[in-house]
Amino acid sequence: MKHDMIGDPLNRVDGRLKVTGGATYSGEYKIPGLTYGVLVPATITSGTLVSMDTKAAERAPGVLAVITPFNAPKVPGFQPGAAKPVKGLKLFNDDQVHFNGQPIALVVAETFERATYAASLVKATYKAAPFETDFHKNFDKGVVPNEGKYKDYVRGEADAYKNAPVIVEQDYMLPSEMHNPMELHVTIAFWDGDDKVTLYTKSQGVIGSQRAIAGAFGLDPANVQINSRFVGGAFGSSLRTWPHEFAAVQAAKLVKRPVKLTLTREQMFTLVGYRPLTIQKIGLGAAADGKLVGITHESHSQTAVYEEFTENAVNVSRFLYASPNANTRYKVVPLNVGVPAPMRGPGEATGSFALESALDELSYKLKLDPIELRLRNYTYTDPERNLPWSSKFLKECYQQGSERIGWDKRPAEPGTLRDGEWMVGYGIGCGAFGAYRSKTSAKIKLLPDGTVNIQSATSDIGPGTATSMTLIAADTLGIPADKITFELGNSSFPVAPTQGGSQTCSSVGSAVHDVCVALKQKLNSLAGLPTDSTAAIDYSSILQKLNLPVLELTQDSQAGDEAKNYSMYSFSAHFAQVYVHPLTGVVKVKKLVAVVDGGKIVNRKTASSQMIGGAVGGLGMVLTEEAVFDDRYGRYVNGNFADYHVPVNADVPDIEAIFIDKPDPIINPVGSKGLGEISLIGVAAAVANAVYNATGKRIRELPITPDKILTTT
């Protein structure tokens, strides 16, 4: 068996299960005695609950319980002084209402339909209080987050851009964007006695969910079993254990039967986070030759009054381009809304839109090609941390992307290139996201028939984790991929990090590599060979000869001091060709080229799919997605799939994913860096910059809809 399998386009090992309906998602398990929970939302935006009339609901057919703040059993982790206090919203723990749609009751019934009907019968009396949901009105109430890492950053002189010969100073706005995965958030919970509980739930991190549930209910983590084998999309919405998951566990304990709680699509807009509405101000100053003199990046974004959410919206401006002077300021504005959450490319996607748009504006002021401007400010070491990059091939991204998009056809003068009725333009947007590696464990079992089973408690929200891990194992062991199974999504497996932050392949892949190496060393020892021998071994014959039913090993894997000595990032350059219709304002992205420095690519097929999927999210960010809020009532106007516009097939152009595919020599044994975030970071700016190149109209408020094209001068 050949060893150089890394990079091969292995088909998804779970693909057939998913496309034939054989994959069982969290809400599809048939648990005996299953009951159904439906949440009742608050109809005010701020205030207190005075009383609740639940009699009609309790008398409705099939109803088993109606849980409210006035009768709910106390959850230990919700109480003051708890050993492991639960952060954020604690359902049914007090009478406070923080936002419209906040759950104030949970109805449990024999069927979903009966629970839904009974939920409509619950009546609440409130003492309403003044509320604030208008971000623009409350902009000046922004505060520096409590976490120390968000204090103002200054390198050199603050606001030095103002003294430069050429200046760009602009505001850029992103609306709230909502997680809208195909699979709704759903949790099935059931207890075994008073001290053991099992959940089937939509989770990006089963170990994190296990610890959260154990902490809240005062349980030994070993007595909390979390299952999340298949996840139908998440984008960051399942990075934490949400209030409805705690509520399902609470309800199951009360009724002493399994409870299935499914959020509605409308509740997905309020209860599982979103990309926060953000206004950023960028100041860039450059010399006449294009060398940056100073960068100032300020950001204000919304958060909840009951919990503070932060993200790295300004950080990319500290290191992506060379500037002797750089400073950032970051504030959050508390409002009566549900708390935001990380959304694919969290912070960096938001920040790169502003930075890359401003840099494009600067290129026109300098009469300099946007790629040339980036090259003149290229960083060969990290200016923020004053460390060398573990690897960086962003120049190669510029070169390959410009060739593939046809950058030589881009007009230097905006609004001058046409194809029939359509105005044509080209744009570039770049991005960076940290390349991380967390401590991970994996267990390997070699069976007498020569097959191998590997387990690790990671998750897979769509990128093809099991497929990549199978490929790494096959490459390391030198056996066919069809002899390997990789299991995940189970908290009883060896510990793995949450799938988020583009770290899974680096972290879990390292553990898989290391446990396979440990197995080979053990087999060499059993065969009487040096542990580092590369001689061919018949795995199954060794087990049969020694009469071993199975050979099992568990291996921990973690990085050394690399992160202290190197700055580790993945980089991307996105190129867009757009057509804009001057009479209707319609924008069509004709072609998108995504070029990535993501280290060694483990599986080209799934990596390409991941890049395309992220780019589609970027298209939604720039052209269609916008949560519309009615500040009179504190409610979303378009909190549904019909009125909130995610990109559909007709919106998606030809998307080409290109990989530099050079291994990072520092980060991990495979040399892989993350792809999940940089697949989106930079897309919005690339399209917005292409729109300007096509029309001469600079749209700084997303999404770029036809009305903005028609009304912008």
Q: What is the mean pLDDT of residues 534-541?
A: 84
pLDDT tens-digit series, residues 212-240: 999 999 999 999 999 999 999 999 999 99
Q: Confidence class of residue 545 from pLDDT cuts 50, 70 and 90?
A: confident
Model confidence at 83, pLDDT cuts 50, 70, 90, reads confident
Q: Is the per-residue pLDDT at 3 higher than 60?
A: no
Question: Which residues lie below 8 Å from residue 44, measured CB to CB, with a gap of 6+?
Answer: 97, 100, 126, 128
pLDDT tens-digit profile of 586-599? 999 999 999 999 99
Q: Identify the bridge partners of residue 423 per DSSP, sorted by sequence position.
A: 418, 580
Contacts of residue 21, defined as CB under 8 A and 6 or more positions apart, other chains included, come to none
pLDDT in tens, 140-162: 999 999 877 899 999 999 999 99
Asked whether residue 1 carries a pLDDT value surpassing 50, the answer given is no
Does the pLDDT of residue 2 top 50, yes or no? Answer: no
218, 194 Cβ separation under 8 angstroms: no
Sheet holding 224-227, edge to edge: 63-67, 103-109, 35-41, 259-262, 186-191, 197-201, 224-227
Fold of 132-176+275-383: Aldehyde Oxidoreductase; domain 4 (3.30.365)
The confidence band for 540, taking pLDDT boundaries of 50, 70 and 90, is confident
- On average, the pLDDT of the chain sits at 96
- DSSP-based helix, strand, coil % in the chain, nearest 5: 30, 25, 45
- Looking at residue 180, its pLDDT comes to 94
Least confident of 132-136, 227-231, 563-567: 563-567
Per-residue confidence (pLDDT) for residue 176, from 0 to 100: 98
CB neighbours of 210 closer than 8 A, spacing ≥ 6?
Answer: 221, 224, 225, 226, 491
Q: How far apart are CA 25 and CA 203, in angstroms?
A: 11
- 698 has a pLDDT exceeding 70: yes
Q: Kindly provide the b/e burial profile for residues 226-236, where b requires at least 16 CB atoms within 10 angstroms of the residue's own CB.
A: bbbbbbbebbb
pLDDT tens across 264-296, in order? 999 999 999 999 999 999 999 999 999 999 999
Residues of the chain with CATH 3.30.365.10: 15-23+438-558, 132-176+275-383, 389-434+562-713
Element (H, E) at 213: helix 206-217
What residues are labeled active site?
A: 677
CATH number for the domain running over 15-23+438-558 = 3.30.365.10
The pLDDT value given to residue 563: 82
- Predicted local confidence at residue 536, as pLDDT: 84
Question: Is this prediction's pTM over 0.95?
Answer: yes
Listed in sequence order, the residues at least 6 apart from 541 whose beta carbon sits closer than 8 Å to its beta carbon are none
CATH class of 31-130+183-271: alpha beta
Distance CA 467, CA 258 (A): 33
What's the pLDDT at 534? 86
Using 50, 70 and 90 to split pLDDT, how confident is the model at 7? confident
Average pLDDT on 475-499 reads: 96
> What would be the CATH architecture of the domain defined by 389-434+562-713?
2-Layer Sandwich (3.30)
Q: What is the mean pLDDT of residues 378-393?
A: 97
Vertex 619, ends 615 and 624: CA angle to 5°?
A: 155
11: which DSSP letter?
A: P
The one-letter amino acid at 161: Y
